[in-house]
Amino acid sequence: MSIEPFNRLVKLTARAFYDDITKMESQPKTGRSDNRGIAVVVLDALTRRQWVREEDLAKELKLHLKQLRRILRFFEEEKLVTREHRKETAKGAKIYSAAVAATGDGQQTGKEGEEKIKLHTHSYCCLDYAQIYDVVRYRLHRMKKTLKDKLEDKNTVQEYICPNCGKRYNALDALRLVSMEDEYFHCERCNGVLVPENDKLVAQEVGDGDDNARRRQRENVKDQLERMEAQLKPLNDQLNRVKELAVPEFGSLQEWEARATAAARAANSSANDPSKSSQGLGYGGTPMPFLGETKVEVTFSGVEGKEGGVKSESASMDVKLMPPWMIKEGMNLTTEQRGELKQEAKMDGSSGQVDSSDDKKSTVQNGEGQNIQEEYFKAYYAALLKQRQEAVEAAKRQESLNMPDFDDLPSNRQVGMKSKREDDEADNDFEWEQPPISGNASESYKVNDLNAEAEPSGDDDDDGVDWESD
């Protein structure tokens, strides 16, 4: 709960100040057409994570690692992000992946085998909420102060005017104007007592232009100040909202890993008992209020993590952002899968359809033959439609680069599909149930493996190649 306001703060900040990437692109030679707004994407992505390995993040965002690093370095300088670099052996890397996976539902088994990381320097990054809060406030303060100083003549030279003869002086003439008899300045020409022109309408810099220009400039500043107040109001409001809340603190990478692992252990012992899990987290030394929250988050990333370590984003994202038709497309994304699907459709229409419904319904249907058959038909038609769409979509999709969600879906689908095929062969309604149970262990395993390997390396897998090259 407590992290949400802070994430909103980060998102508002991103849009207010980092909308235009040109600020950080010192060399605009990155051929990629238009990458303004990438900074916002990166910050948004970070709000959905805790500590994340930068390679992983780059892959999930479909960014070049170099580009991502440049952005992260920029944000590090801006004090929004903390980074840690460490040389790790395969073992060291495993600690991190284990922490990620463990925080899910302890299903890191699929992962461990594939983790072959050499001794490399790995960089991790994480939002530093406490500092972000301070930095944003400071930035707003400076902005406001600069404008207000201008408005209040703070650094301007006081002017004086002689009411008798109208001659003007300013503070730099002061030495000549003092009189020994009283405490005022006197006109050189007529010895009249000068009055300060404290009329705020005239703000003057030494030797500046004429009055009109000054007045215009002044109006300008005032206008600027007003616009700033108005436009940054959401950000200010959010800052106020967040003020009373304790700041989410993930600690250093090491602490975080320790805590995550401990939490996972606690969670394993008692599945969903919040008190237990919070204890586990507490072990790492986090402030208590966040524990519940933190745990939720961890679970998210964990789930994704188990699916190959890379997807973290997509799983949660799909749910929110993907319209249903997208998901269908996603099924057919990889060429392999597409092939499979078609075959199946020809040989046995039902099989193709099954997978779509399968994922969602298999658990519910549990042995109700009728239901299943109905579903079968529905699904069959759906599948046919889908295939037609898919052919079109696939073509389109291959052109569109930024669809982080696709990797994710195939893996799910594959599981479903394979189980279906088996079903078809068996041709038995009863068997339906089995794949998820018995077949799952072996089948889904492989699937996971494929995915997992594809992602870390990125180019072993056909799928990976397709998408990356696009």
Partner 1 sequence: MFFHIVLERNMQLHPRHFGRNLRENLVSKLMKDVEGTCSGRHGFVVAITGIENVGKGLIRDGTGFVTFPVKYQCVVFRPFKGEILEAVVTMVNKMGFFAEAGPVQIFVSNHLIPDDMEFQSGDIPNYTTSDGSVKIQKDTEVRLKIIGTRVDATEIFCIGTIKDDFLGVINDPAAV
The option from partner 1, Zn ion, none interacting with 178 (CB < 5 to 8 A, set by class) reads: partner 1
Number of residues in contact with partner 1, rule: CB under 8 A?
A: 18
Regarding beta strands 168-170 and 195-196, do their DSSP bridges make them parallel or antiparallel, or are they unpaired? unpaired
Structure-block tokens of residue 131? 């500092």
174 binds partner 1 (CB under 8 A): yes
What's the distance, CA 170 to chain centroid?
Answer: 54
Q: Which residues of 175-185 are buried (b: 16+ CB within 10 A; e: fewer)?
A: eebeeeeeeeb
Binding test (CB under 8 A) with partner 1, winner from 151, 157, 245, 382: 157
Q: Among 29, 33, 183, 469, which residue sits at the site for partner 1 (rule: CB under 8 A)?
A: 183
Considering the rule CB under 8 A, would residue 16 count as an interface residue with partner 1? no
Q: CA end-to-end span of the chain, whole Å?
A: 39
The DSSP secondary structure of 284-343, one letter per residue, reads TT--GGGHHHHHHHHHHHHHHHHTTSSTHHHHHHHHHH--HHHHHHHHT-SHHHHHHHHH
Q: Which does 162 bind (CB under 5 to 8 A by kind): Zn ion, partner 1, none?
A: Zn ion
Q: What is the rounded CA–CA span in Å between residue 468 and residue 470?
A: 5
Phi and psi torsions of 266, nearest 5°:
-60, -40
Using the rule CB under 8 A, is 196 a contact of partner 1? yes
Beta carbon of residue 147, minimum distance to partner 1 (angstroms, whole number): 15
CB nearer to Zn ion: pick between 143 and 193: 193
Backbone angles phi, psi at 52, to 5 degrees: -140, 140
Q: Which is closer to partner 1, CB of 154 or CB of 168?
A: 154
The minimum distance between CB 202 and partner 1, in angstroms, equals 12
For binding to Zn ion (CB under 5 A), which residues are involved? 162, 164-165, 167, 187, 189-190, 192
CB closer to partner 1, 171 vs 225: 171
Torsion angle in degrees (nearest 10) through CA of 174, 176, 179, 184: -30
Query: Nearer Cβ to partner 1, position 157 or 221?
Result: 157
- How many helices and strands in the chain, by DSSP H and E? 22, 6
Site string for partner 1, 97-136 (x = CB under 8 A): ----------------------------------------
Q: Which residues does 424 contact at the CB level (< 8 Å), separation at least 6?
A: 344, 348, 350, 351, 354
Does 171 sit near partner 1 (CB under 8 A)? yes
**Furthest C-alpha separation in the chain:** 115
CB under 5 to 8 A by kind: which of partner 1, Zn ion, none does 183 bind? partner 1
- Bridge-partner residues for 87, per DSSP? 121
Smallest gap from residue 189 Cβ to Zn ion (A): 5
Stretch that binds partner 1, among 95-103, 122-130, 152-160, 282-290 (CB under 8 A): 152-160
Residue 201 engages partner 1 in binding (rule: CB under 8 A): no
| 181 lies in the site for partner 1, by CB under 8 A | no
Pairing of strands 81-88, 159-161: unpaired
Cα–Cα distance measured from residue 135 to residue 358, given in angstroms and rounded to the nearest whole number: 49
For the bound state, the minimum distance from the C-beta of residue 194 to Zn ion, rounded and expressed in Å, comes to 8
Pick the stretch among 55-63, 147-155, 244-252, 264-272 that binds partner 1 (CB under 8 A): 147-155
146 scored as a contact of partner 1 (CB under 8 A): no
Burial class (CB in 10 A: 0-12, 13-18, 19+), 251: middle
In sequence order, what are the beta bridge partners of 81? 127
Q: Least distance (Å) from partner 1 to the CB of residue 175? A: 6
192 or 309: CB nearest Zn ion: 192
> CB of 170: closest distance to Zn ion in angstroms?
15
Q: Identify what 165 binds: Zn ion, partner 1, none; CB under 5 to 8 Å per kind.
A: Zn ion
Q: Which residues of this protein are in contact with partner 1, per CB under 8 A?
A: 153-158, 160, 171-172, 174-175, 178, 183-185, 196, 198, 206
